[in-house]
Amino acid sequence: MRARPWPLVLSLALLAAPSPAAAERSCKEEIDAVCPDTAPGSSERVECVRASAEKLPERCRARMHRARNRLTAGMEALRASCRDEIDRHCDDVQRGGGRLQRCLRKLDDDQLGERCRDYLDLLDAHRERRKPQPSTEPGGTAGQDG
């Protein structure tokens, strides 16, 4: 069995942490109360939450902190796995908002090294697992309570 590059191992651990979007959804009411004039996911909302974090309940601050750590670690793993590809093909891409990942996904397979391709495949597999599954019950929707 071949050894896995450390970014892939790190990534598997990170997949269990809440995503920034999930962290925001779990505290939506609290964030709406603190930042009422901002749209979910917008840069204005992110800045408002940062500036007003002390007004949020501890559980929300903790979830946002874990999500921020996950995002940072995920970006570090992406850069470590795809360093050469980023330097050669995506160096001029502005960081943030998934732009770097979109740049890498536009590359042909022969432009991606094995580590980078493995990392992008891992992200795809994780995204697939997180998609809501159709319900097996008549008239039901997967992931729906009640």
Q: What average pLDDT does range 34-53 have in this prediction?
A: 86
What number of residues does the chain have?
A: 146
In this structure, is residue 25 part of a structural domain? yes
DSSP calls for 33-72: HHSTTS-TT-HHHHHHHHHTGGGS-HHHHHHHHHHHHHHH
In this structure, is residue 42 part of a structural domain? yes
For residue 108, give the DSSP letter.
Answer: -
pLDDT for the residue 133: 64
C-alpha 141, offset from chain centre: 24
Task: Please tell me the distance from the alpha carbon of residue 82 to that of residue 119, in angstroms, as a whole number.
Answer: 8
In this structure, is residue 137 part of a structural domain? no
Q: Which domain holds residue 28?
A: 6-129
Of residues 37 and 42, the one with the higher pLDDT is 37
Q: How many helices (H) and strands (E) does the chain have?
A: 8, 0
Q: What is the mean pLDDT of the chain?
A: 78
In this structure, is residue 146 part of a structural domain? no
The model's pTM: 0.55
Task: Please tell me the distance from the alpha carbon of residue 143 to that of residue 134, in angstroms, as a whole number.
Answer: 9
pLDDT for the residue 22: 59
pLDDT for the residue 33: 92
pLDDT(89) > 90: yes
pLDDT for the residue 57: 92
Structural domain count of the chain: 1
pLDDT for the residue 40: 80
C-alpha distances in Å from residue 124, one per residue of 15, 18, 52, 127: 12, 17, 34, 5
Q: Three-class SS of residue 140?
A: coil
In this structure, is residue 82 part of a structural domain? yes
pLDDT(46) > 70: yes
In this structure, is residue 142 part of a structural domain? no
Residue whose token pair is 């995503």 = 19
In this structure, is residue 106 part of a structural domain? yes
pLDDT for the residue 4: 47
In this structure, is residue 140 part of a structural domain? no
